[in-house]
Amino acid sequence: MLAKRIIPCLDVKDGRVVKGINFVGIKEIGDPVEFAAEYDRQGADEIVFLDINASHEGRGTMLDVVKRTAEKVFVPLTVGGGIRTVEDIRDTLRAGADKVSINSAAVKNPGLIKEAAALFGSQCVVLAADAKKTPGGHYTVVINGGRIDTGIELTGWVKKAEELGAGEILLTSMDTDGIKNGFDIDMLKAVCKAVKIPVVASGGAGRLEHFAEVFMKTNCSAALAASLFHYRELTVEEIKEDCRSKGIEIR
Amino acid sequence: MIAVIDYGAGNIFSVKNALDFLGLENKLTSAKNEIEAADAVILPGVGAFSYAMKMLEEKGLTEVLQKQAGEKPFLGICLGMQILFEKGYEFEETDGLGLIKGEVRKIILPGLSVPHMGWNRLVHRNDCALLSGLGSDGYVYFVHSYAAECEVGNISAYCEYGREITALVHDGGYVYGAQFHPEKSGETGLRILRNFAELITG
């Protein structure tokens, strides 16, 4: 069977790695290519680059980071942030990315998922959804780094994305992101139940056991974290060892 | 020099990146004379079986590749592996290169998602030069919806995904095929590419 994946995410701004807490208070901490190579050495199953300030001028810088990473890191690379058009996707894949993740642009234009899947294949189209719980107990999709609540109901949205051709869902809970108290198990369960395509858990990992927990309590295929790895609080190896000792299939 | 066939199907640059990283001389090419002069051939590919065969036909490469496969180490990767077989059924029934006996059919697995995408463990079935130095715990990266159905004797390794999925094949001569992406499979994948390059005799 497929091994559960551990995915370090690198938030990149102007070609440098940064990590924010609840998307504010961004702090710069280093060269993305070096971080990616280090995560590869630790056994990362995939690496995600998220361009968090993707201005039009900044895109070239990101593509250069992707290209340099693809020359020395031989695990799948996913790139997201500011991808708005089929041309953006083509450029990113050509630079060496294996998948692109689309977030706000898909909400504004769901047809982009369909078009991208038809042109490049579903395997490289990841729908990134950021969501939070409403006071009424539903989950709604937020965009623009959490600044705008779209009011769109989450499970309906991921189902639609799957129908349009998305190959994977990267789900970030804005309620748990940066809090380090564990992944949002309930939200992840709801999304895993809604779709058949793989779901990547994101937002909230703070301790070793949070990874095994998300794999034991949900059907997620992968778990993603950023700051834990950046600040060397945990290594990918340590997480994998903990999961393995709990009987979870890990590469 | 390893000729990496550039025929408009898939991300050939990641294959090139991996060969460069390993210090293996290589060239992206669709030129007949360069393919004939090469010491080995890698046929990559992402996309549909019928499209890949059409592209090879259009570039006049079908017969060259069939001939070279009998003369020097030849590795098909992902879709490049699938078209080594006699027939494929993606969109329409299409003849492949016919280098290995067998057919490529859609994976149908109730309850499991297709494409089969992610890291899966290689289970060794027959001795194979490409698996040299690899233990039984090697995971490699797969992305595919179709799988080869062929004779057990040609299967070097398979993986478990609801059933046995053909992962690595060998015709007994020069021809090898990897359903997974060795260029995206970390250390294990790089070792397989290095093992392939070692088949080149001086």
Q: What is the mean pLDDT of residues B27-34?
A: 97
ipTM, two decimals: 0.91
Residue A28: the pLDDT is: 57
DSSP A164-193: HT--EEEEEETTTTTT-S---HHHHHHHHH
Whether A243 has a pLDDT exceeding 90, the answer reads yes
Task: Mark whether A11 is an active-site residue.
Answer: yes
Q: Are strands A24-30 and A16-21 parallel, antiparallel or unpaired?
A: antiparallel
Instruction: Give the pLDDT band (50/70/90) at residue A55.
Output: low
Give the position of tokens 């996309």.
B47
Instruction: Give the pLDDT band (50/70/90) at residue A150.
Output: very high
Whether A26 has a pLDDT exceeding 60, the answer reads no
Whether B24 has a pLDDT exceeding 70, the answer reads yes
- State pLDDT tens for residues B109-144: 988 888 899 999 999 999 999 999 998 889 999 999
Find chain A residues with C-beta within 8 A of B14's C-beta. Answer: 70, 74, 96, 98
Give the lowest-confidence range in A162-166, B6-10, B185-189. B6-10
How many CB atoms lie under 10 A from the CB of residue B98? 15
Asked if residue A224 lies in contact with residue A248, where contact means CB atoms within 8 angstroms, the answer is no
Of A45, A88, A130, A177, which is the active-site residue? A130
Q: What is the mean pLDDT of residues A187-200?
A: 97
The CATH architecture one would assign to domain A5-245 is: Alpha-Beta Barrel (3.20)
The answer to whether the CB atoms of B183 and A74 lie below 8 A apart is: yes
- State pLDDT tens for residues A59-97: 788 999 999 999 999 999 999 998 999 999 999 998 999
Residue B10: the pLDDT is: 66
Asked if residue A73 lies in contact with residue B17, where contact means CB atoms within 8 angstroms, the answer is no
Residue A144: the pLDDT is: 80
Q: What is the mean pLDDT of residues B136-165?
A: 96
What's this model's pTM, rounded to 2 decimal places?
0.93
Q: Are strands A125-133 and A99-102 parallel, antiparallel or unpaired?
A: parallel
| Domain B2-91+102-197 CATH assignment equals 3.30.1330.200 | no
Closest among B121, B163, B168 to B141, alpha carbons compared: B121
Q: What is the mean pLDDT of residues B44-73?
A: 93
Whether B11 has a pLDDT exceeding 80, the answer reads no
Q: What is the mean pLDDT of residues A132-141?
A: 95
Mean pLDDT in chain B?
A: 95
CA distance A98 to B10: 11
Domain chopping of chain B, boundaries: 2-91+102-197
Q: What is the mean pLDDT of residues B143-155?
A: 96
Instruction: Give the pLDDT band (50/70/90) at residue A234.
Output: very high
Instruction: Give the pLDDT band (50/70/90) at residue B154.
Output: very high
CA distance B184 to A57: 30
Beta-carbon pairs below 8 A across chains A and B = 68
- Going by the DSSP 8-state scheme, the letter that residue B153 receives in this structure is G
Please, where are the H alpha helices in A121-167? 154-164
Closest among A122, A128, A132 to A222, alpha carbons compared: A128
Q: What is the mean pLDDT of residues A173-180?
A: 94
Please, where are the H alpha helices in chain A? 32-42, 59-70, 86-95, 104-108, 111-120, 154-164, 185-194, 209-217, 227-230, 236-245
Domain chopping of chain A, boundaries: 5-245
Residue A168: the pLDDT is: 96
Per-residue b or e along A54-91, where b marks 16 or more CB atoms closer than 10 Å to that residue's CB: beeebbebbbebbbbbbbebbbbbbbbbbbbeeebbeb
Task: Tell me which of B141 and A119 has the higher pLDDT.
Answer: B141
| β-strand partners of A28 | A18
Whether A25 has a pLDDT exceeding 80, the answer reads no
Cβ-based interface (< 8 Å): residues of A facing B: 1-3, 5, 40, 45, 70-72, 74-76, 93-94, 96, 98, 121-123, 167-168, 196-198, 221, 251
Residue B20: the pLDDT is: 98
* A92, A94, A199, A251, best to mutate vs chain B, most B CBs in 10 Å: A251
Residue A24: the pLDDT is: 44
Burial of A151 (0-12, 13-18, 19+ CB in 10 A): exposed
Residue A58 gets the label, from left (phi > 0), alpha (psi -120 to 50) or beta, of: alpha
